[in-house]
Structures are given as structure tokens and as C-alpha cells.
Amino acid sequence: MPELAELLRFDLVAFVQIVLIDLTLSGDNAIIIGLAAAGLPPAQRRRAIAIGIIAATLLRVAFASVTYVLLEIVGLTLAGGILLLWVTHKMWRETRAGASASNETSAAGHAAPAKSLRSAIVSILVADVTMSLDNVLAVAGAAHGYPGMLIFGLVLSIALMAVAANFVAGLLERYRWLAYLGVAVVAYVALDMIWRGTSEVMNAAAAGW
């Protein structure tokens, strides 16, 4: 069965690259989900995290099914970076608003308005589209055309994200100042995508598309 043999092919370089990519990008995705879910009541937080992980899983599977088509679309990474930058700005505003509300609560002694579950889910879903796309494209590039390595990369990314998202959300609840660090990480990822996407567009334009 040549198809099975192709599926089981192992490449050490691809393996190392995929693990490093997943550790980075799945961590970033977990930070986004954790940031969006932090500040919600515990039951809603668990629901938001679960929705985020399920959505990211489905998106990764969907993108993986057409990954080599996506690799040919010039400007896709740039568009994803711009979208993620919008999410970063939204999270920055929510983080500042949460900090202000917390200070007002301490001063006035009354409860601050809770974050909306709907707002958290919207932020997670938009970020999931962008981060899942970037993760699949990066893993596909590192897989060197080996379907088995691509599948391994997707499964690993989902497992890492599921473990990390709950940890990040809980950590942000205890140490709210870490939210600013999280926003900075997401902003870096967005700007990196914009930089890479712009370079792809410029190179394509120089080559006459």
C-alpha cells in the first residue's frame, strides 16, 4: 500500500521544525483564548475556552484539507496578520478597561461590570481563524509534502493548545498584569504575519504575479 507508506514516512528535520512551530503558535493561540476568557465567571470561562478549542480544531482540519491550495494564495498571510492586529487592539482595550474597572472596584467597593461571553467568543473565533491559518501554513511548509507529518503537526498543536489555554486563563485571573504581556505576544505575531505577508506580495509583484 504505497498510500500507507507515504502516510507513515518520517523526517527528523520536519519533526523538529513542526514541534518548534507548534510550541510557538499553539502557545500564541492559547494566550489569545486565555486573554479573551479571563475575566469571565468560571462557568462561562470554561465554555469560552471549550468553544475556542473546538473552533480551532475544526478550522485546522478545514484548512489542512486545502493547505496546498492556500499556500499558493498571495496575500493571505498579510490579510490574516491585519485581522489578528485588529483582535490585538480589541484585547488591549479590554485589558485596559478591565484594569480600570478593577481599580474602581477597589476604590468604591462595588463590583465591576463583567466581561461579555459573546464578546469573548467573537474575539476567540476571529483569532482562531487567523492563528489556525498561520499554524497550518507553517506546519505544511515544514512537513515537506509528507501527509503523516502534517497530521502529526495538527494533532500536536491541538493538544498543546487544549492544555495551555486553561492554564493561561487561570494565570491571568491571578496575575492580571500578565495580560499586557500576552497582548504584546499576540501583537508580535500579528506584526510578524504582516511583515511576511507584505514580503510575499512584494516578491509576487516583482515577479509579475
Query: Per-residue pLDDT for 11 more than 70?
Result: no
Per residue, the 3-state secondary structure of 6-30, as one string, reads HHCCCCHHHHHHHHHHHHHHHHHHH
The predicted structure's pLDDT at residue 111: 47
pTM of the model: 0.68
Query: Per-residue pLDDT for 174 more than 50?
Result: yes
Q: Summarize pLDDT for 58-107 with one digit per residue, the tens.
A: 888 888 888 767 767 888 888 888 888 888 888 788 778 766 655 544 44
The predicted structure's pLDDT at residue 198: 92
How large is the average pLDDT for residues 50-65? 87
For residue 136, give the nearest of 43, 21, 12 by alpha carbon: 21
Q: Summarize pLDDT for 103-155 with one digit per residue, the tens.
A: 544 444 444 445 678 888 888 888 888 888 888 877 877 776 677 777 888 88
How large is the average pLDDT for residues 20-44? 81
If phi over 0 gives left and psi between -120 and 50 gives alpha, with beta otherwise, what is residue 206? alpha
Which one is predicted more confidently, 159 or 39? Answer: 159
The predicted structure's pLDDT at residue 108: 47
User: How high is the mean pLDDT of the chain?
Assistant: 78
SS3 119: helix
Q: Which three cell numbers stand for residue 172?
A: 491571568
The predicted structure's pLDDT at residue 183: 81
The predicted structure's pLDDT at residue 9: 58
